[in-house]
Amino acid sequence: MKLSIQHLLIGGGVILTSGFLVNAMSVKKEERNIYEQAEAEVATTFPDSEVSPMSEETFSSYKVYAIDLPENLDFAGERVPIEDPDVYERLDREFLVNTYWQSNGLLLLKRANKYFPIIEPILKRNNIPDDFKYLAIIESGLTNAVSPSGASGFWQFMKAAAQEYGLEVTDQVDERYHIEKATQAACDYFKKAKRSTGSWTMAAAAYNAGIAGMNKQTSFQQTNNYYDLWLNTETSRYVFRILAVKEIMKHPKKYGFIFEKKHLYNELPTYNVMVDSTIENLTDFAKTYNITYKDLKIYNPWLRDRKLDNKEGKTYYIKIPKKSYTLSNF
């Protein structure tokens, strides 16, 4: 029976790795090299295989294809000069990286189905181009990530920037993890960046490098065209990553991502409970609404402690999931 490439990657790949480690430690004891060690272990694991997983016949069935880039691309309606050789190469890199990082790509598509319906109307209400939703993708992968520098949430706000744009950040409440409020804060930033830098493309780059940072570069280099600027590695890749992710997520099957609607994630319907006083114990609060503490934290990640001190009587809205909903409802 011939091995499929899936068997090779799942079985042989693991064995190859383990063979490498084992052989690296025992190279003096055994005369076989790493390649021979791996082949021997694969042969032991798949004794009935007619074709060695290391043979040319097997590898001839596995191909990595170059990608034909779209002839016309834009960000927020602003054209990408893909005819520029440097622009083409930088874009090609991001298409290759994001197309062949298959597991991550599928996760992004699944999460987008859950969270884009929350982000999109907030962008629209603020007259921010829809393309900016892809910034959340490349910033955090639509997770409440925390960077080594302390940037947090879907939109990766630093503490000082979050507070500057109206988000509460304390030991008990951190609205960087409040998707609606953080998205509104990001919109406020985009509008300010657009006014200062002159284009949506530059505003997107400024989200990475800072408004002052981009203006400093445009002043020195005497151009406000993102594609003509010499920038640090991260910022020079930033917009190209957005462009690649946007194109792939808009046309997933074209780039090899195959899935059905049932595979996508969905946001469970919720209702809001208004709170304007202290909650001494969030577990007891959750039980009042027939949900668990885990449920409460999943739908309200901005609650960072086990209680909520609210001596000032601030108004908060806590999401309560409708537990009657299951996967069969979607």
- Give me the pLDDT at residue 48, please: 58
Q: What is the mean pLDDT of residues 34-38?
A: 60
Q: What is the Cβ-side half-sphere exposure of residue 136, based on CA atoms within 13 angstroms?
A: 30
- Give me the pLDDT at residue 328, please: 57
Q: How many CB atoms lie within 10 A of CB 238?
A: 23
Quick check: 28 pLDDT over 50? no
Q: How far is Cα 304 from Cα 176, in angstroms, rounded to an integer?
A: 11
Angle, helix 85-99 to helix 102-125, in steps of 10 degrees: 110
Alpha helices in 27-84 (DSSP H): 34-45, 56-59
Q: Are 193 and 202 in contact (CB under 8 A)?
A: yes
Q: What is the mean pLDDT of residues 293-297?
A: 97
**Rounded (5°) CA angle 30-32-36:** 140
pLDDT band at residue 323 under the 50/70/90 scheme: confident
pLDDT band at residue 330 under the 50/70/90 scheme: low
- Give me the pLDDT at residue 293, please: 97
Q: What is the mean pLDDT of residues 112-116?
A: 98
Quick check: 198 pLDDT over 90? yes
- Give me the pLDDT at residue 62, please: 78
Q: What is the mean pLDDT of residues 276-290?
A: 97
Q: Closest by alpha carbon to 280, among 271, 288, 272, 270?
A: 288
Q: What is the mean pLDDT of residues 33-60?
A: 59
Q: Closest by alpha carbon to 224, among 76, 78, 71, 72?
A: 78
Q: Are 160 and 169 in contact (CB under 8 A)?
A: no
Q: What is the mean pLDDT of residues 292-309?
A: 97
- Give me the pLDDT at residue 37, please: 63
Quick check: 72 pLDDT over 90? yes
Quick check: 26 pLDDT over 60? no
Angle, helix 233-250 to helix 133-140, in steps of 10 degrees: 120
Q: What is the mean pLDDT of residues 192-198?
A: 98
Q: Are 92 and 241 in contact (CB under 8 A)?
A: no
* Cα distances (Å, whole numbers) of residue 123 to 110, 127, 204, 254: 20, 6, 14, 27
